[in-house]
Structure 1
Amino acid sequence: MSGEEAENPKRARGEKAYHFGLSAEEIVARHYAERGYQVLERRWRGAGGEIDLIFRNGEEIVFVEVKASKTHEAASAALGARQQARLCASAEDYIGRLPTGLLTPMRIDVALVNGVGEVDILENALM
């Protein structure tokens, strides 16, 4: 254990989780980019809060919430009803700013990343 971890283990765990989350977002961004999606935004803040990743796939806008944990099941369990509502509010905020507004094709995906970096995409998970 480093000196900092011994002094403040909660802070060290928080920093480790933060960096794990950033790494998971990068893995997911590459996953979508490899499939031809264009990254529009990373960590976009809207009316309801932050959306991790926003992509364009043709005419469709794809909002992605990234959840990372040791297992896909644990990552999935971390997405509660209140967070789902905030994601939907932010997605509506983003879409409302586009020229075609709420007529824009869209979906909200949840990307689960496990401890070894495997990605499981739940397409249209919140619609």
Structure 2
Amino acid sequence: MTANQQRGREAENLARRFLEEQGLRLLAQNWLCRRGELDLVMLDGDTVVFVEVRYRRHAAWGGALESVDARKQARIALAAEYFLQQEKRWGKHPCRFDVIALGATSGPTDRPEWIKNAFDA
């Protein structure tokens, strides 16, 4: 695992703990399929939440939030659709797409910046 991958995993773990403290329950982490990867899949009440975790060390490369562009959103939506097809028990639940931003936009020691309903599929 590269240093960047390690930092990414650490950011995902921090985001997961933060969301669990907010009352969400983990359904899957680093869920892989042929259409992509879902960083976190959480349950918020009865809503399935697909969480993209973005970490940026330097603001010069763009903030964590800005890095979730339309192409990335489309990839996440396709992976989420596949997740719901594979995990049928969650298929009838409402869904949303959130982003957790860490790093340059929020400061490394600050609380994660949680954007609910960051985009629509």
TM range (shorter): 0.7 to 0.9
RMSD of the alignment, in Å?
Answer: 2.0
**Structure 1: which 5+ residue stretches go unaligned?**
1-13
Shift of 1:46: 3.2
Q: Report the counterpart of residue 119 of structure 2 in structure 1.
A: 126
Secondary structure in 2 matching 1:108: strand
Number of aligned pairs?
A: 113
Q: Is the contact made by 1:95 and 1:104 (CA closer than 8 Å) also made in structure 2?
A: no
Give the Å deviation of 1:126: 1.6
Partner of 2:33: 46
Aligned to 1:87: 76
TM-score, scaled relative to structure 1: 0.78
Deviation for aligned residue 1:19: 1.4
> Secondary structure of 2:3's match?
helix
Which structure: greater helix fraction?
Answer: 1
SS at match of 1:125: strand
Residue 19 of structure 1 pairs with residue 6 of structure 2: yes
Unaligned runs of 5+ in 2: none
Q: 1:39 to 1:32 in 2, by over 3 A?
A: same
Q: Which residue is equivalent to 1:105?
A: 94
- Percent identical pairs in the alignment equals 30
> Residue deviations 1:24-46, cap 9 Å, x none?
10110001111111111010023
Q: Which structure has more strand as a fraction of its residues? A: 2
